[in-house]
C-alpha cells in the first residue's frame, strides 16, 4: 500500500465514523488556500500546508478556525523532492511534529494527533479522534506493515541473488569512473542553506549527495547530482529526477532496502567489513552515510574533493529533526577523523 493510498483510506475511515459523505470531503489546492477559497465538512490538507510560508500556514489555520469544518492536516517534516521555478524547494515550512502541533493549538481547542501514519509526516486534526477511528486506522496500518515485512524477506533474497551473480556495480568500477576527477561531496547540514555555493558545487566534475537529497535552493545547494550515497530507500524515479547515474548503498543494514532500491540498475553495495573497519579506525559505534562516503572516496584516484554542507551536526540536518544528543552517531569523533584526513590528504578540503 502506497503512502497516498494509506492516507486516502484513513480519511475515508474518518469520514465514515464522522458521518461525512465523500461529496463533502474536499482537498483544496495551495492556490485556493492562499486565496482563502476552501470549504467542506471535512477538509483534507494532506501535503499542502508544507508548501506555504509560515505566516501563510497561520493565515489558513486562522480562517479554518472560524469555520465549522473538520480539518485533517498531514504535513511532511522533510523537504520535498520538487524544486520550484524560482529555484527554491517546493516545501516552504519544514518543521518537526511538535511545531505543527503547536501551530494547530494556536487556532483550535480540540487538537489531536492521528496515527500511526508515516514516520516522515505528522498528521493532526482539529477534532478529537475517537477510539473507534484510531483502532481502525491502526488496523489498516498493521496490515500495511505486515505486507511490508513479508516484502522485506523477498527483497533480501533478491539482493543476495544479485550480489551472488555479480549484478551490482563493483568498487573498481566506481574508482575507474572517478579517477582524476574533481568531486563535490554535498552534505545535508542546515547551515548550507545560508551559503551561495550552488554554482561552485555544480562546477565540479562529479557531485555526490546523500539520502533524501534535500535541496533547499539551487543558489545554496546547486542541483547537479551524479551519485546518491544513502542508507535510506531511494527509487529509480528519484535518481532520474535528479539526473543521477548511480546509487551507493553505504549501510550494513541492507534489510532496509526496498524492492525498488534493490532493482536500481547502477547499484553499488558497500561491503559491511569496510564499514566496520572504518568504525574501528574512527572509534565509532555507528558510522554516518557521510563519513562512510568520505572514507570510500579517499581510497580512489580522485584529483580533488570538497566537502560542502558538513558542520558535523552543529546546525542539524536538513533531512532529519534529530539533535546531536539523540542521533545514533558520534559527530565529534567523525569530525576528528575528517579533519585528520584533510590534514594528511591534500586532495580533501572542507568548505566552511
Do residue 110 and residue 213 come from a single domain? Answer: no
Q: In what order do the strands lie in the sheet with 246-249?
A: 267-269, 246-249, 227-230, 206-210, 182-186, 304-308, 348-350
CA atoms in the 13 A half-sphere facing the CB of 84: 11
Q: Rounded to whole angstroms, how far apart are CA atoms 316 and 153?
A: 34
Q: Is residue 109 part of a domain?
A: yes
Q: Is residue 160 part of a domain?
A: no
Domain final position from 92, 121, 139: 139
Q: Is residue 224 part of a domain?
A: yes
Q: Rounded to whole angstroms, how far apart are CA atoms 285 and 137?
A: 37
Contact 221, 215 (CB under 8 A): yes
- Its domain, for residue 24, covers 3-139
208 pairs with which residues across the strands?
185, 227
- For position 117, what pLDDT does the model report? 59
Count of domains in the chain?
Answer: 2
Do residue 14 and residue 103 come from a single domain? Answer: yes
- For position 322, what pLDDT does the model report? 72
- For position 158, what pLDDT does the model report? 82
* pTM of the predicted structure, to 2 decimals: 0.85
Domain final position from 139, 159, 184: 139
Please name the helix (run of DSSP H) or strand (run of DSSP E) that holds residue 219, with its range, or none: helix 218-221
Do residue 222 and residue 177 come from a single domain? Answer: yes
CATH number at residue 199: 3.90.1480.20
Do residue 205 and residue 320 come from a single domain? Answer: yes
Domain final position from 90, 124, 139: 139
Residue 221 is given by DSSP the state H
Query: Cell numbers 591534500 correspond to what residue?
Result: 346
Q: Is residue 163 part of a domain?
A: no
Contact 229, 239 (CB under 8 A): no
Do residue 125 and residue 257 come from a single domain? Answer: no
CATH number at residue 107: 3.40.50
Q: Rounded to whole angstroms, how far apart are CA atoms 278 and 75?
A: 37
Q: Is residue 246 part of a domain?
A: yes
Q: Is residue 153 part of a domain?
A: no
- For position 1, what pLDDT does the model report? 66
Q: Is residue 258 part of a domain?
A: yes
Q: At what angle do helices 54-65 and 97-105 cross, to 10 degrees?
A: 40
Do residue 122 and residue 195 come from a single domain? Answer: no
- For position 118, what pLDDT does the model report? 64
Please name the helix (run of DSSP H) or strand (run of DSSP E) that holds residue 123, with its range, or none: strand 121-125
Do residue 66 and residue 191 come from a single domain? Answer: no
- For position 103, what pLDDT does the model report? 96
pLDDT tens digits, the chain, 352 residues: what are they? 677 888 889 999 999 999 999 999 999 999 999 999 999 999 999 999 999 999 999 999 999 999 989 999 998 888 998 899 899 999 999 998 999 999 999 999 999 998 655 678 899 999 999 999 999 988 888 777 676 667 667 777 888 888 888 899 999 999 999 999 999 999 999 999 999 999 999 999 999 999 989 999 999 999 999 999 999 999 999 999 999 999 999 999 998 898 889 999 899 999 999 999 999 999 999 999 999 999 999 999 999 999 999 999 888 888 777 776 777 889 999 999 999 999 999 999 999 8
β-pair type (121-125, 70-76) = antiparallel
Do residue 112 and residue 16 come from a single domain? Answer: yes
Do residue 226 and residue 274 come from a single domain? Answer: yes
Do residue 304 and residue 253 come from a single domain? Answer: yes
- For position 120, what pLDDT does the model report? 80
Q: Is residue 146 part of a domain?
A: no
Do residue 111 and residue 180 come from a single domain? Answer: no
Contact 239, 208 (CB under 8 A): no
CA atoms in the 13 A half-sphere facing the CB of 316: 12
- For position 119, what pLDDT does the model report? 73
Amino acid at each position: 500500500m502506497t503512502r497516498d493510498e494509506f492516507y486516502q483510506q484513513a480519511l475515508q475511515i474518518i469520514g465514515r465514523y464522522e458521518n461525512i459523505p465523500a461529496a463533502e470531503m474536499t482537498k483544496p489546492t495551495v492556490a485556493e488556500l492562499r486565496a482563502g477559497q476552501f470549504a467542506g465538512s471535512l477538509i483534507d490538507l494532506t501535503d499542502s500546508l508544507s508548501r506555504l510560508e509560515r505566516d501563510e500556514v497561520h493565515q489558513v489555520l486562522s480562517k479554518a478556525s472560524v469555520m465549522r469544518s473538520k480539518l485533517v492536516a498531514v504535513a511532511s517534516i522533510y523537504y520535498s523532492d520538487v524544486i520550484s521555478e524560482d529555484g527554491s524547494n517546493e516545501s516552504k515550512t519544514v518543521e518537526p511534529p511538535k511545531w505543527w502541533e503547536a501551530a494547530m493549538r494556536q487556532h483550535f481547542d480540540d487538537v489531536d494527533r492521528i496515527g500511526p501514519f508515516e514516520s516522515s509526516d505528522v498528521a493532526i486534526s482539529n477534532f478529537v479522534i475517537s477510539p473507534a477511528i484510531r483502532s481502525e486506522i491502526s488496523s489498516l496500518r498493521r496490515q500495511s506493515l505486515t505486507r511490508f515485512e513479508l516484502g522485506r524477506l523477498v527483497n533480501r533474497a533478491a539482493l543476495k541473488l544479485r550480489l551472488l551473480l555479480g549484478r551490482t556495480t563493483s568498487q573498481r568500477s566506481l574508482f575507474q569512473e572517478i579517477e582524476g576527477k574533481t568531486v563535490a561531496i554535498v552534505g545535508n547540514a542546515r547551515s548550507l542553506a545560508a551559503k551561495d555555493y550552488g554554482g561552485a558545487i555544480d562546477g565540479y566534475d562529479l557531485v555526490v549527495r546523500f539520502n533524501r537529497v534535500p535541496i533547499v535552493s539551487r543558489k545554496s545547494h546547486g542541483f547537479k547530482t551524479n551519485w546518491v550515497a544513502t542508507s535510506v530507500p531511494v527509487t529509480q524515479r528519484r535518481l532520474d529526477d535528479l539526473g543521477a547515474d548511480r546509487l551507493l548503498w553505504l549501510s550494513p543494514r541492507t534489510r532496509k532496502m526496498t524492492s525498488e532500491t534493490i532493482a536500481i540498475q547502477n547499484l553499488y553495495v558497500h561491503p559491511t567489513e569496510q564499514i566496520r573497519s572504518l568504525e574501528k579506525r574512527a572509534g565509532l559505534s555507528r558510522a554516518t552515510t557521510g563519513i562512510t562516503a568520505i572514507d570510500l572516496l579517499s581510497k580512489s584516484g580522485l584529483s580533488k574533493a570538497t566537502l560542502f554542507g558538513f558542520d558535523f551536526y552543529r546546525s542539524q540536518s536538513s533531512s532529519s529533526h534529530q539533535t546531536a544528543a539523540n542521533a545514533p552517531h558520534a559527530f565529534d569523533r567523525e569530525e576528528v577523523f575528517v579533519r585528520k584526513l584533510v590534514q594528511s590528504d591534500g586532495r580533501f578540503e572542507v568548505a566552511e
